[in-house]
Structure 1
Amino acid sequence: MRFPLQSHPGILIVGLVITGLLVWGFWPKPVMVETTQVHRAPLTVGIEEDGRTRVIDRYVILAPVNGMTCQMKLHVGDTVTQGENLLGITPLRSQVLDSRSRAQAEAQVSAAKSAVQAAQAQANSAKAAAQLAQEKFQRYQPLLSKGLISQETHDEAKTASLTANANMRSANFAVEVAKYELQAAMTTLQFSAIQPDKQQQERVAVNSPITGKILKVERKCEGPVMTGEALLEVGDPTALEVEVDVLSADAVRIKPGMKVLFDRWGGDHPLEGVVRLIEPVGFTKISALGVEEQRVWVISNFTSPSEEWQRLGDGYRVDAKFVLWHEDDVLQVPSSALFRYQDGWAVFSIEDNVAKRKPVKIGQRNGLSVQILSGLVEGEKLINHPSDAVDDGVKVKQRLTN
């Protein structure tokens, strides 16, 4: 008796081939994965927001009298010195002051003189405070090198010295403003009752209160102006600070004296700064997605040498990163290698091409990297971006990347 397959060996061969293909097709294959390693590197946790520079003390020069201005010959960026005549105003015909109006004008002059004295007293107080803070900081420097004080105490003394110097500079500017206001009050009294035939020949000089540069020109053409109308803005662009609006939830994590890094400002390396003030009042801002957000202004000063950031001007954009935590040697992994497991976190390590689930304890994280406190060792190979196909005990194969 002959078997059909013996008479048709081709059928047998085809059957064996199909069976082999089916076995090969359904045989479990390793899952292709991307890998990463546990490594040590510096880790910084911070808050990043867009900010802009601004002149610390800027002055809006107003018209002291009603009159006609001359054609403005000043331009934005022009350098001016303290007391320099910027423009002149030909006053309009003034009315003769009655007894009551003259008494009020004289009282304003007296008040302006008192304001100058008060501003000078505050400037002297600020100067004394700055000297005391500087001497304290200088005394702390040798103590730090000897290990008698902590780094935090040294940094607090440094921040106090910077803040006191900034307060002294603002107090000195306040004295100049008070003198300028006294001059304006005296000018109002002086030109309030001049003779009509002389009035058309007199011109009220408008002088610069500080040495700096023109930041804004409100009007360039000759024309009438009213008392209090803005004419120019002047300021010292070498004295800059940075204003950054952050979410109110992030503002509570920022403290005065905290380190700030300013990046993407146009230079080759980041600039350093320190937080000076977190404003106590927030405001509402509409985000790009149309969501209402509560924001808070955070003001910071530069601590990098002034030669490094003098190319910046008023209103320049910077990226500010407030450093909440930093260490130079941290065991870490990419955050994409972590996944939730039970009530904690875990990763998949690779041992002999087999995925092994390992629970880990994490610490600080900055969105890209995560600090590993326990569960892993340096150099251990992990699966990055594990998919649903990866599980404990599954064979894996590293995906080749270009």
Structure 2
Amino acid sequence: MKKKIIKISSIVLVVSIIVFGIYYKMKSGNVVTTELHEVAYGRVADFVEETGTVKSRSQRTIYSEATGEIKSIHVTEGDFVTEGDPIAEIDSEKLEIEIKSLDAQIGGLRATYKEAIKPVDKEEIAKAQASVNKTKVLLNEAKRNLENSKKLYESQAISHEAYKTAEENLAVQENTLKIEENELQLLKKGVSSNIKNQYEAQIAQLVYQKEILEKSREELMIKAPVSGIITETFLKEGAYVQQGTEVIEIANIKDLYIEVDVLASEVGEIKENGSAIIFSEDLGIDKLEGKVEKIYPKAFSKVSDLGIEQKRVRIEVAITENTELKIGYEVDCKFELWSKANILVVPDNTVFDFNDSKYVFIVEKDIAVLKKIETGLEGEDYIEIQSGLKEGDKVIVSPNEDIEEGVKIKDQND
């Protein structure tokens, strides 16, 4: 932004004969027609001027929280929406398939778990108990057979192989009894708590995965976070978006302010709650009242239009009047640095330097008279007069070489 420093005085009770700052002169004989200004009391103020951008305090850019193709956009620029209204939707077909797949897995695992923990049939326990009893009988027979085989082997009535067969049969019956007794105990106890915990953990994991997908499904419907006007849509239907992609901008057009970046070297005299004047020749805005609402505590670097890096401080200006300003407009803002009121002032284009002093031409009885003056505060448009003039004096505006002491003067407005 191009920076300007403007010093302007607003004149109170001034009878000004300035017409759009136009100076012209008509000379007929020794009479010069020119513009006159009547000296009066007024005010001098010093301002710093910068260009700012109109923004909304509730302006929000809405980003996609999911990945996919834009299925539909329910709003257009200029539409008013209420908080929570759907504004766009991302295609959910792929996500629905994943959710159905998880539903099937959860259902299958729950069925298996239910089957595993159901009570054991009493008939099965009875059968298992009968097998254990039968094996015990066979085990006792095997023990007796081994004792007989040992005596017969020692008396050399049977072979060693026959004796070894009796030993092996006993071992088989002992192992069989252990297995059947374990199976009987398992049937009586049911599934262990460890097995139950494993099933329950697997089911919980699948349910959690499903909840994540269902949450993602909610994110596929993009809703307005605040009430306001749709100011911009960044995408069209059919566009593919990633998480974090800009989708829509929404703002409250009734809650506008102006963001201005002021040179750090000039921001020191600007105060919060101080006045600001908003204007724009391009927009036909002559003067709007504003108020300095916030001065940021930190400066930042910014490259000017001339390519010069500058330190600037951001200022927020509240608009205190009803206005037709729109978001994104650029307007000029003037911040008052100081002012002095109820002082004698003249336009700055009436004062000139002569012999290292300040002078004006006044008109007395229609004759130009050179008058030495002492000046004080200087503004862009007006200068404070400390001595040499009094209220009601008429001074010549923009005097040139045709104006000299003793020349007869005629007011161009007469």
1:326: how far off?
Answer: 4.6
Distance 2:30 2:43 in 1: 38
Contact preservation (8 Å) 1:341, 1:359: no
Distance 2:208 2:349 in 1: 75
Contact preservation (8 Å) 1:40, 1:330: yes
Counterparts in 2 of 1:205 and 1:357: CA distance versus 1, 3 Å: same
1:387: how far off?
Answer: 3.5
1:377: how far off?
Answer: 0.3
Contact preservation (8 Å) 1:72, 1:87: yes
What's the counterpart of residue 236 of structure 1? 252
Q: Secondary structure at the match of 1:70?
A: strand
Query: Which residue, 258, 282, 301 being the options, matches 1:283?
Result: 301
Q: Deviations over 1:238-272 (max 9, x none)?
A: 11111223444433332211101223486887332
Q: What pairs with 1:68-107 in structure 2 (closer than 5 Å)? A: 68-91=69-92, 92=94
Distance 2:338 2:218 in 1: 64
Query: Which residue, 271, 291, 295 being the options, matches 1:274?
Result: 291
Q: Deviations over 1:335-368 (max 9, x none)?
A: 01112356653323344525333121322x3311
Letter matched to residue 359 of structure 2: A
What's the counterpart of residue 401 of structure 1? 412
Residue-pair matches, total: 274
Letter matched to residue 331 of structure 1: L
Q: Secondary structure at the match of 1:275?
A: strand
Contact preservation (8 Å) 1:35, 1:398: no
What's the counterpart of residue 380 of structure 1? 393
Letter matched to residue 217 of structure 1: T
What's the counterpart of residue 361 of structure 1? 375
Instruction: Please list every run of 5 or more consecutive structure 1 residues that lacks an aligned counterpart in the other structure.
Output: 1-27, 97-188
Distance 1:39 1:206 in 2: 64
Contact preservation (8 Å) 1:83, 1:207: yes
Q: Secondary structure at the match of 1:256?
A: coil
What TM-score do the two structures reach when normalised by structure 2? 0.55
Counterparts in 2 of 1:217 and 1:283: CA distance versus 1, 3 Å: same
Query: Which residue, 270, 273, 287 being the options, matches 1:257?
Result: 273
Distance 2:207 2:326 in 1: 38
Letter matched to residue 302 of structure 2: T
Query: Which residue, 300, 314, 322 being the options, matches 1:297?
Result: 314
What's the counterpart of residue 332 of structure 1? 345
What TM-score do the two structures reach when normalised by structure 1? 0.57
Is 1:312–2:325 an aligned residue pair? yes
Query: Which residue, 188, 207, 229 being the options, matches 1:213?
Result: 229
Q: Secondary structure at the match of 2:91?
A: strand
Letter matched to residue 211 of structure 1: S
Contact preservation (8 Å) 1:52, 1:317: yes
Letter matched to residue 302 of structure 1: I
1:30: how far off?
Answer: 7.8
TM-align CA RMSD: 3.9
Counterparts in 2 of 1:261 and 1:201: CA distance versus 1, 3 Å: closer
Counterparts in 2 of 1:55 and 1:224: CA distance versus 1, 3 Å: same
Q: Secondary structure at the match of 1:193?
A: helix
Q: Deviations over 1:171-203 (max 9, x none)?
A: xxxxxxxxxxxxxxxxxx9998349x9999988
Distance 2:255 2:76 in 1: 20
Contact preservation (8 Å) 2:279, 2:285: no
1:219: how far off?
Answer: 0.5
Pick the structure with greater CA Rg.
Answer: 2
Contact preservation (8 Å) 1:349, 1:358: no
Q: Deviations over 1:121-150 (max 9, x none)?
A: xxxxxxxxxxxxxxxxxxxxxxxxxxxxxx
Instruction: Please list every run of 5 or more consecutive structure 2 residues that lacks an aligned counterpart in the other structure.
Output: 1-28, 100-204
1:376: how far off?
Answer: 1.3
Letter matched to residue 244 of structure 1: V
1:33: how far off?
Answer: 6.1
Contact preservation (8 Å) 2:363, 2:369: yes
Letter matched to residue 51 of structure 2: D
Q: Percent identity?
A: 26
Contact preservation (8 Å) 1:90, 1:202: no
Distance 1:213 1:232 in 2: 11
Letter matched to residue 67 of structure 1: G
Distance 1:218 1:34 in 2: 57
1:231: how far off?
Answer: 0.9
